[in-house]
Structure 1
Amino acid sequence: MHVLVVDDDPLVAQSLKTIICTDPEFRVVNLGTTGDQAIELYRVHRPDILLLDIRMPGKTGIQAAAAILQDHPEARILFLTTFSDDQYIIQALTMGAAGYLLKQNYQSIVPALRSVYQGQRVFGDAVADRIPSLVLRRTATPQPGTGNEDRGGLSEREFEIMKQVAQGLSNREISQKVYLGEGTVRNYVSTILEKLQLRDRTQLAVYYYKHYSG
């Protein structure tokens, strides 16, 4: 698996390379220090994964990622930053980034890269815990009368449960709101995940945020 690493601190970039290369499955194809270099090096190397810092002089990591995804929508971009800023998280989710990790969690980098390579989206615990609250602040209720096709193929009941999962409610809390048994709600959540081909509740919250919030 080929990884491109871009961080505005050359020492950090080299340290990341050292960490990644402890796993023989990975090869770091190059290092960069600016957003413009990220765009150019991605074009040259077409890595399996781009590990990208966010705050950089000139073009930010967010701006570089947007430019790369415009030309290469299949790109897997994993943000690695010291900043858990809500706006950065929102931008990363919206653009379809493969993940968002904090630099403090160095031990999670290699497992995260492997998960991203397998097609999963990865968010560090500190970030994942905040997604439901971000979604809750920005959710917009769909207009009454929208058809099933506007709900991603979900029934009205399934859509309502998805919305409440996105708001961070537990199965028990949802069951009290919709007057269903906790086990029934659990079955609904499993069905929704299967229909949307999602892995867990965090991915479901991200899906709702991307498709049904303003």
Structure 2
Amino acid sequence: MTTGFEERTTVRVLLADDEMIIRVGVRAILTTDPDIEVVAEASDGRQAVELARMHRPDVALLDIRMPEMDGLTAAGELRGTNPETGVIMLTTFGEDKYIERALDQGVAGFLLKASDPRELISGVRAVADGGSCLSPLVARRLMTDLRRAPAQRGGEAEGLTGLLTQREREVLGMLGAGLSNAQIAERLHLVEGTIKTYVSAILTRLGVRNRVQAAIIAYRAGLVENDPPGPGSS
């Protein structure tokens, strides 16, 4: 770990997948970062929820399809019992159809199991920092769906963002562009704690559970000039 102003806190991760070979591979990737620690592993959703209660991880990586309790149901329970734990869904190509349900459960990230190892690490770090992460393929699917959405949904989003102050709209636009709290703070020359307060207020005013949902509203309202960045964005 580094020291001084560059000091980084260890990110504690819970990993849940019913396939041991996947868990071994993901753990091996994560532990290449000295500031990431896998504190518990589960082979089904129910076990993941119980282990999360015991270990209070910063981030939970959950497979979508697991026995006893699927990952999406486990994510919902985790958000209820461990709201401080950021949840990332691990998926395979083609399962991005679950995006909407995952967002409803308060999921903060969606990564493909075949993602570049660097994307997995940066995604975990982004969510631990209070941000979000989307695999590029998932992001493209999401943005395509948004473009196909009826025009009135854009009007609804504009109406919601109209409830925000100018500064909150500015923060929301940056949030929608994939910036972390720290990056937004740097751009606005504010302390990170102030940005966290803004983000919390924005989520409450918009009536959404997480930053991904807020980012979708920002995109629909025209507050984001470009498509969201790829994986690891927060």
TM-score of the two chains, using structure 1 as the length reference: 0.70
Match of 2:44 among 34, 39, 56: 34
Distance verdict in 2 for CA 1:198–1:71, change over 3 Å: farther
| C-alpha deviation, 1:150, in angstroms | 3.9
- Percent identity between the two aligned chains: 35
Distance verdict in 2 for CA 1:31–1:210, change over 3 Å: farther
Match of 1:114 among 106, 125, 128: 125
Give the unaligned 5+ runs of structure 2. 1-10, 179-211, 222-234
Match of 1:94 among 104, 111, 116: 104
| C-alpha deviation, 1:95, in angstroms | 2.3
Query: SS in structure 1 opposite 2:13?
Result: strand
Query: Which protein has the larger Cα radius of gyration, Structure 1 or Structure 2?
Result: 1
Do the aligned residues in 1 keep the contact of 2:176 with 2:218 (CA within 8 Å)?
no
Match of 2:138 among 121, 127, 130: 127
Deviates more, 1:104-113 or 1:122-131: 104-113
Do the aligned residues in 2 keep the contact of 1:3 with 1:26 (CA within 8 Å)?
yes
| C-alpha deviation, 1:28, in angstroms | 0.6
Give the unaligned 5+ runs of structure 1. 159-190
Output the CA distance in 1 between the equivalents of 2:28 and 2:121: 11
Distance verdict in 2 for CA 1:58–1:76, change over 3 Å: same
TM-score of the two chains, using structure 2 as the length reference: 0.64
Q: Which residue of 2 aligns with 1:63?
A: 73
Do the aligned residues in 2 keep the contact of 1:54 with 1:80 (CA within 8 Å)?
yes
| C-alpha deviation, 1:27, in angstroms | 0.8
| C-alpha deviation, 1:16, in angstroms | 1.1
* CA deviation map 1:153-186 (0-9, x unaligned): 259xx9xxxxxxxxxxxxxxxxxxxxxxxxxxxx
Q: Which residue of 2 aligns with 1:199?
A: 175
Distance verdict in 2 for CA 1:131–1:2, change over 3 Å: same
| C-alpha deviation, 1:137, in angstroms | 4.5
Aligned length: 175
Query: SS in structure 2 opposite 1:104?
Result: coil
Do the aligned residues in 2 keep the contact of 1:76 with 1:97 (CA within 8 Å)?
yes
Output the CA distance in 1 between the equivalents of 2:140 and 2:219: 14
Deviates more, 1:131-140 or 1:82-91: 131-140
Q: What's the RMSD between the two structures over aligned residues?
A: 3.1
Query: SS in structure 1 opposite 2:152?
Result: coil
Output the CA distance in 2 between the equivalents of 1:73 and 1:130: 27
Distance verdict in 2 for CA 1:139–1:32, change over 3 Å: farther
| C-alpha deviation, 1:140, in angstroms | 7.0
Output the CA distance in 1 between the equivalents of 2:51 and 2:133: 23
Distance verdict in 2 for CA 1:113–1:36, change over 3 Å: same
Do the aligned residues in 1 keep the contact of 2:59 with 2:87 (CA within 8 Å)?
yes
| C-alpha deviation, 1:86, in angstroms | 4.1
Do the aligned residues in 2 keep the contact of 1:8 with 1:32 (CA within 8 Å)?
yes
Distance verdict in 2 for CA 1:86–1:15, change over 3 Å: closer
